Amino acid sequence: CFQSDYDKMHKTGSLTLDLRLTLASILALCSLVPQTAAERGANGRGREEQIMRNAKAAEVLKYMNPTADPCNNFYDFACGNWSQYQPELREGDAPISVQTQLLQRAQKDVQMLLEGGVRSKGRPNLDERKVKEFYKSCLTVERFSTLQQAFLMNFIKEYHGLPLLAGTNWNMNYDWVQVIARLRLNYGFDFLIGMEVENNGKAVIQLTEPTTSLIPRHLCSAGAIVEAKDREEVTAQLQTDIAKDLQTWFGLREEETERVGGDIIRFEFELCRYMREEESLPPSEDENTEPQVYEGHDLTRLSKQFGHIINFRKYLETSLNSTVANTEIVMKSQRYFQQLAHIARSNPRPTLTNYIMYRALSEINLPRNETSNPRAGYCAQLVMRYFPKVIGEMYKNRYQRSEIRSNVEQLFADIKETFGDSLNVNDLSNNAQNALRNKLLAYETLIFPTYKGMNLRDLPLEHTNFWHKQDIAMKFKGYKERQRFYGGDAELDDSIVQAYDVHMKLLDNGIMTGWGLLQPPFYDYNYANSLKYALLGPLIARELAGALIPDAQQTELTRDESILEIFNNVTECYRMQYSNYLYNIPNVFYNATKLRELMTDSAGLNVAFQGYLRWLSSMDPINRPQLLRETLPGVDFTNTQLFFIVFAQSRCHAKYMEEPPPTFLPLDTHTEELFNVNGVLANNVEFAREFGCALGTDMNPDDKCTLF
C-alpha cells in the first residue's frame, strides 16, 4: 500500500523507530486485504505463464546438443538429444516425430472422451452414446472367438470366396471387377481402382490409382530410388506378416501361407511400378500426358482399350449403385490401368482373389501382437475413422477456446499481410504481382471445424456383438463416402479437417485447422510470439504459398510468363540441390510432390520470420517487459535465434537404426528428415546472419533457392 513512500523515507533515514513500527504494522495489515477477483486472475495467469516459460525453456535446452556446430548441422544442434528422451525403438517400430506425438496426444484425448474421463460440454446425446458403446464393445471383444470366425467366413462367402479355404464359394469364374466394386459400394474400399469426384456445377468422376497399398508409399512408386537390399527386407517382412495373419485367422499351414504371402506382395509390387509417376519421374516430352475424357455411355470403348480385362461400366455403376450414362469420366492414370490390365490377365485367378480378400480382411480384423494399451488406441482410431464428425464435435466442445481462436486468427492476418508485402519483387511484372495478390485475397481467414450433427438414430449399434457393429459402421462410412459422388456436399467429404486433427488444409476461402494442432508442444496461449510465429507461422504461410504456386489448373497464375519462369527456376534449383544432397548427382530427383513441399516449406519459413520481425517493429521499445517475454529463462539465445531453434525442434524425429551410419561416408548420413530442417534453413538468408554462419558453410551455401 505504501511501499514506494516507505522505501523513500527509509533511504533518507527520516523514520523514527516508532514510525517505522507503525508503518510496518500498516504494511502487514495491507497484506491481509483480500485481492479482487481481477487481481487473483491476473496473478494466476502470471503464475501459469511463468510455469509454462520455465517448462518450455527446460524442454528447448534438453533437446539441444550444445557441442554441435549450428553452421555445420543445425538439426544436430537443435535436435541432437531429442531421441534420448523418446521411447526406445525396436526393429519394425514406426519412426516417431513431433507430429506423431501430436497425433498420439489427440488420440489419447479422444480415448479420454470416449471413456468418460473427460466430459464434453452438456449431456451426451444419442450419437455420443452410440459411438461410446461401439468403443466399449471394441475394447472387450475377444480375439479368435467363434463370433469372429463366423463373421469372417460369412464375409468371405459374400464376396465370392477364398481359394485357400474350402466351402467359401470360390471358383475359376471369379469376377474381380464385380468384387472390388461391391467392396467400394459397401465399405468405401479403393482396392486396385481409385475413384475421385470433382463438382463444379456438374459431377466429374476421375478414375485414379488406389490411394493405399500394403507396400510403404515411399517404395510403391514408379521412380522409387531405393537400394534393392532395403526393398527386399521390407517385402520379405510383409510376406511374413501376411503369412502369420492367414495362419492366425484360419489355422493354415506355414508353407502354404508363405507362398500366398509372396504371391500377394509380388502382385502389388508389379502395380507399384506404374504408380505415382507424376510424383517420381521426370515429365515426358514425347507422350501426351493430358487425362483422357469419356462420356458414361462410351465406357465400352474405354474397356476395349484395355482388352476388356477391366469392365469400367460394371465397376462404376456397381460401386455407385447408379447409372453413369450421362456422366463425364476422366482417366487420370492411363499407364497404371494398362499395367493393371496386364497383370490381371497374366496372373492366376487365385492370386488376384487372394490379394483382394487379404486387403479386405486386414481392414476388418484386429491388429496382430496387441496388448491392452494398443487395443484402446486401435479402438479409438476405429471410432475416429467411422464416426469422424461425432468425435470431432465432442473434441471441439471440450477443447475450443474463444481466446485461442482470436489469437491464432490474428496470427493468420499478420502472416497473410506479410505474405502480400513479400510479393513486391522486381522479377515479377505488375500484372503478375496483381494476379498473385488477388489469389491471396481469396483466403480470407482461419477456419475452424463446425458440426451439424450426424444423426445416428437409425444405426442399430446397441445390443449386438462387435463384429456386427463394425460391419454396420463400415457400411455407414461407405454410404457417406458414396454420397460425395451425388452432389458434392462438403459436409460429407472426409478429407475436411476434423477438430481433433493436427494439421491445416487449404480451402477455397481460407485455411482450416484442427483444435488438436493448438496444443503443446506446438501451441500454448501463453507462448511468446517468437514461439508462435516459429511454430504456427510457417504452417499458415506454407498453405498460402501452396495456393500461389501455379499448376495446370490455375490458369490465372499461368498466363504471365514471369510467374512461370520464377517458379520453374526455383523448382529446378531445389531439384538440383536435393539431388546433390541425397546422391551427389544434380539431376536424378524428380518427385514433384516433394519438390513442391520443399518450396512451400521454404516460403513458409521466410514469410513467418518476416512476419515476426514485422511484429517486433510494431512494438514500443519502452515496453521492456513485453519484449523480455520473447526469450526464455536460462536459454542464452536471442529471441530471433530462439525462433529458428524452436522451428527446428518442431521437426525433430527418431527412427530405428541397427547401428548409426559411418560419419566418413557423408551421403549415408543425409536423410530426408535432416534436409527438412537443414535444407530449409540453409536457404534462409536471415538464419545465417543470426548464427554468424560464414558464406560457404553447410548452413550458408553460396547458391540459395529462395521463394517469397
Residue 486: predicted pLDDT: 74
Residue 462: predicted pLDDT: 72
Residue at grid coordinates 553452421: 71
Of 375 and 667, the one with more pLDDT = 375
Q: Is 70 exceeded by the pLDDT of residue 16?
A: no
In eight-state DSSP terms, residue 698 is T
The answer to the question of residue 462 being in a domain is no
The answer to the question of residue 51 being in a domain is yes
Q: Distance between CA atoms of 244 and 365, rounded to whole angstroms?
A: 13
Q: Is 70 exceeded by the pLDDT of residue 102?
A: yes
247 pLDDT band, cuts 50/70/90, is very high
What is the SS3 assignment for 671?
Answer: coil
Q: For residues 4-16, give the mean pLDDT.
A: 36
One domain for residues 431 and 545: yes
Q: Is 50 exceeded by the pLDDT of residue 22?
A: no
**pLDDT (tens digit, 9 = 90+) per residue, 339-385?**
999 999 999 999 999 999 999 999 999 887 766 458 889 999 999 99
Residue 11: predicted pLDDT: 37
Q: Which of 70-84, 240-254, 273-287 has the lowest mean pLDDT?
A: 273-287
Residue 406: all three cell numbers together: 482470436
Q: For residues 380-401, give the mean pLDDT.
A: 93
Of 325 and 454, the one with more pLDDT = 325
Amino acid identity of residue 72, one-letter, is N
Q: State the CB neighbour count (10 A cutoff) for residue 155.
A: 17
One domain for residues 154 and 287: yes
Q: For residues 201-215, give the mean pLDDT.
A: 88
Nearest Cα neighbor of 79 from 521, 451, 694 is: 521
One domain for residues 158 and 59: no
Residue 488: all three cell numbers together: 458434392
Q: What are phi and psi of 513, to 5 degrees?
A: -130, 145
Q: Which of 328-342, 419-433, 496-510 has the lowest mean pLDDT?
A: 419-433
Q: For residues 626-641, give the mean pLDDT.
A: 92
Q: Is 60 exceeded by the pLDDT of residue 244?
A: yes
One domain for residues 307 and 224: yes
pTM summary value:
0.83
Residue 492 near residue 451, CB atoms below 8 Å: no
92 pLDDT band, cuts 50/70/90, is low
Nearest Cα neighbor of 53 from 621, 507, 629, 540 is: 629
Pairing of the two strands 96-97 and 203-208: unpaired
Q: Distance between CA atoms of 214 and 225, rounded to whole angstroms?
A: 18
Residue 41: all three cell numbers together: 486472475
One domain for residues 360 and 433: no
**pLDDT (tens digit, 9 = 90+) per residue, 487-529?**
655 444 555 899 999 999 999 889 999 999 999 888 999 999 9
The answer to the question of residue 495 being in a domain is no
Instruction: Give every CB contact of residue 417 below 8 A, 6+ residues apart in sequence.
Output: 611, 614
One domain for residues 300 and 151: yes
Considering 307, 337, 364, which residue would you say is the last residue of a domain? Answer: 364
Q: Is 60 exceeded by the pLDDT of residue 588?
A: yes
Q: Distance between CA atoms of 305 and 303, rounded to whole angstroms?
A: 5
Residue 71 near residue 693, CB atoms below 8 Å: yes
Could you write out the three-class secondary structure of 67-121? CCCCCCCHHHHHHCCHHHHCCCCCCCCCCEEHHHHHHHHHHHHHHHHHHCCCCCC
Compute the CA torsion angle 678, 679, 681, 683 (nearest 10 deg): 150
Residue 640: predicted pLDDT: 96
One domain for residues 584 and 678: yes
Q: For residues 220-236, give the mean pLDDT.
A: 67
Helix axes 388-399 and 126-140, enclosed angle (nearest 10): 110
Burial of 114 (0-12, 13-18, 19+ CB in 10 A): buried
Question: Is residue 282 reached through a cis peptide bond, with omega within 30 degrees of 0 on the bond before it?
Answer: no
Nearest Cα neighbor of 533 from 686, 339, 325, 698 is: 686
645 pLDDT band, cuts 50/70/90, is very high
Q: Tell me, what CATH number does 267's domain have?
A: 1.10.1380.10
Q: State the CB neighbour count (10 A cutoff) for residue 407.
A: 17
Q: Is 50 exceeded by the pLDDT of residue 23?
A: no
One domain for residues 185 and 266: yes
Query: Which sign does the torsion angle of CA 91, 93, 94, 96 carry?
Result: negative
Residue 553: predicted pLDDT: 58
31 pLDDT band, cuts 50/70/90, is very low
- What length is written for the chain? 708
Q: Distance between CA atoms of 357 and 648, rounded to whole angstroms?
A: 43
Considering 364, 383, 404, which residue would you say is the last residue of a domain? Answer: 364
Q: Is 50 exceeded by the pLDDT of residue 14?
A: no
Sheet of strand 328-331, all strands in order from the earlier edge strand to the far edge: 194-199, 203-208, 328-331, 292-295
Q: Tell me, what CATH number does 58's domain have?
A: 3.40.390.10
Determine which helix (DSSP H) or strand (DSSP E) holds 392, and give its type and residue range. helix 388-399
Could you write out the three-class secondary structure of 284-340? CCCCCCCCEEEEHHHHHHHHHHCCCCCCHHHHHHHHHCCCCCCCEEEECCHHHHHHH
Residue 592: predicted pLDDT: 77
Q: Which of 122-126, 294-298, 607-611 has the lowest mean pLDDT?
A: 122-126
In eight-state DSSP terms, residue 654 is E
Nearest Cα neighbor of 366 from 144, 582, 556, 560 is: 144
Q: CA Rg, the chain, in Å?
A: 30
Q: Is 60 exceeded by the pLDDT of residue 593?
A: yes
Residue at grid coordinates 514469410: 607
43 pLDDT band, cuts 50/70/90, is low
Residue 294: predicted pLDDT: 87
Q: State the CB neighbour count (10 A cutoff) for residue 345.
A: 13
27 pLDDT band, cuts 50/70/90, is very low
The answer to the question of residue 196 being in a domain is yes
The answer to the question of residue 123 being in a domain is no
Of 17 and 530, the one with more pLDDT = 530
Q: Which of 116-120, 324-328, 416-420 has the lowest mean pLDDT?
A: 116-120
Q: Is 70 exceeded by the pLDDT of residue 39?
A: no
Residue 485: predicted pLDDT: 80
Q: Is 70 exceeded by the pLDDT of residue 562?
A: yes
The answer to the question of residue 118 being in a domain is no
Residue 304: predicted pLDDT: 92
One domain for residues 357 and 425: no
Q: Distance between CA atoms of 275 and 594, rounded to whole angstroms?
A: 16
Nearest Cα neighbor of 411 from 546, 549, 530, 545 is: 530
**pLDDT (tens digit, 9 = 90+) per residue, 251-270?**
999 999 999 999 999 999 99
Query: Which sign does the torsion angle of CA 641, 644, 645, 646 carry?
Result: positive
Q: For residues 75-84, give the mean pLDDT.
A: 94
Helices (H), 554-630: 555-558, 561-583, 592-618, 624-628
One domain for residues 354 and 418: no
Q: Is 80 exceeded by the pLDDT of residue 165?
A: yes
One domain for residues 212 and 75: no
How many domains would you assign to the chain?
2
Of 284 and 457, the one with more pLDDT = 457
Amino acid identity of residue 450, one-letter, is T
549 pLDDT band, cuts 50/70/90, is confident
Determine which helix (DSSP H) or strand (DSSP E) holds 13, and give its type and residue range. none
Residue 458: predicted pLDDT: 75
Residue 454: predicted pLDDT: 67
The answer to the question of residue 178 being in a domain is yes
Residue 544: predicted pLDDT: 95
Q: What range does the domain containing 694 cover?
A: 34-86+412-441+522-701
Cα–Cα separations (whole angstroms), residue 6 to 18, 28, 35, 71, 355: 14, 13, 21, 53, 86
Q: Highest-confidence range of 43-57, 226-240, 674-688, by mean pLDDT?
A: 674-688
One domain for residues 40 and 179: no
Percent of the chain with pLDDT over 90: 53
Q: For residues 180-197, give the mean pLDDT.
A: 94
Q: For residues 173-188, give the mean pLDDT.
A: 95
Question: Which residues, listed in sequence order, are joined to residue 511 by a DSSP beta bridge?
Answer: 446, 506
Q: Distance between CA atoms of 438 and 440, rounded to whole angstroms?
A: 5
Percent of the chain with pLDDT over 70: 83
The answer to the question of residue 638 being in a domain is yes
Residue 341 near residue 105, CB atoms below 8 Å: no
Mean pLDDT of the chain: 84
Label residues 693-703 b or e (16+ Cβ within 10 Å = b). beeebebbbee
Q: For residues 147-157, give the mean pLDDT.
A: 93
569 pLDDT band, cuts 50/70/90, is confident
For the chain, the distance separating the N- and C-terminal CA atoms, rounded to the nearest angstrom, is: 54
Residue 611 near residue 414, CB atoms below 8 Å: yes
Burial of 338 (0-12, 13-18, 19+ CB in 10 A): middle
